[in-house]
Amino acid sequence: MPQIYVDADACPVKDEIRRVAERHQIVAHLVSNRGFRTAEHPLIRNVLVGDKFDEADNWIVEHLAAGDIVITGDIQLADRCLKAGAQVLGHGGRPFTINSIGTALAMRELSSQLRDMGEIKGGGPAFSQKDRTQFLNALEKAVQQAMRAG
C-alpha cells in the first residue's frame, strides 16, 4: 500500500491531503521541524524532526519507498524523491517528473540569482481555491495510479 509523505512546514494543502488519505485509507506522514496540530486520525502521522538543515527532507527520503507519493514545494527534495522512485507533486498539483526536474532545478537556480541581484522582488501569486482544486485532482490521480501499481 503506498504512503504519502508531506514536507509540511510550508504546505498549504494539509487538509486536502488528510481528506484523500482518509478516503483511500492511506497513511500520510506530515513531516515538520516546527510541529503543528493535525486532526486526530490514526492514518495521519505528525512527524516532528529536529531543526538541522534539511532534516525533514532527509527523514522523508530515508523512509519513503518506490511508489509512495511525496508532496513538496522544494525542488531539490523533489529531485531526491524522484530518484528514489516516488511520485512527487507540488502544492499546486503540478507533478515533478524525471523529464521535468532538470528544468525545474535550473529555473530555481536562475530565480535565486535574479533575487540576489534584486531583479526579482516578492513572492509569487497567492494560493487560490483553483490551486487547491488542481492539487486535489492531481493527488487523487497519483493515489489511484500508486494503488494500481502496488
Q: The whole model's pTM is what?
A: 0.84
53 confidence band (pLDDT: 50, 70, 90): confident
Q: What is the pLDDT of residue 92?
A: 86
Mean pLDDT to the nearest integer, 8-26: 93
| Beta bridge mates, 30 | 6, 46
| Residue whose C-alpha is closest to residue 59's, from 94, 84, 24 | 84
Q: What is the chain's mean pLDDT, rounded?
A: 86
Q: What is the pLDDT of residue 150?
A: 67
Position 24 pLDDT exceeds 80: yes
What is the DSSP code string of 19-84?
HHHHHHT--EEEEESS-------TTEEEEE--SSTTHHHHHHHHH--TT-EEE-S-HHHHHHHHHT
Ordered domains of the chain (ranges, CATH) = 4-98+128-149 (3.40.50)
> How do residues 79-126 score in pLDDT, each as one tens digit?
999 999 999 999 889 898 877 765 655 565 655 666 666 666 666 667
Mean pLDDT to the nearest integer, 30-42: 80
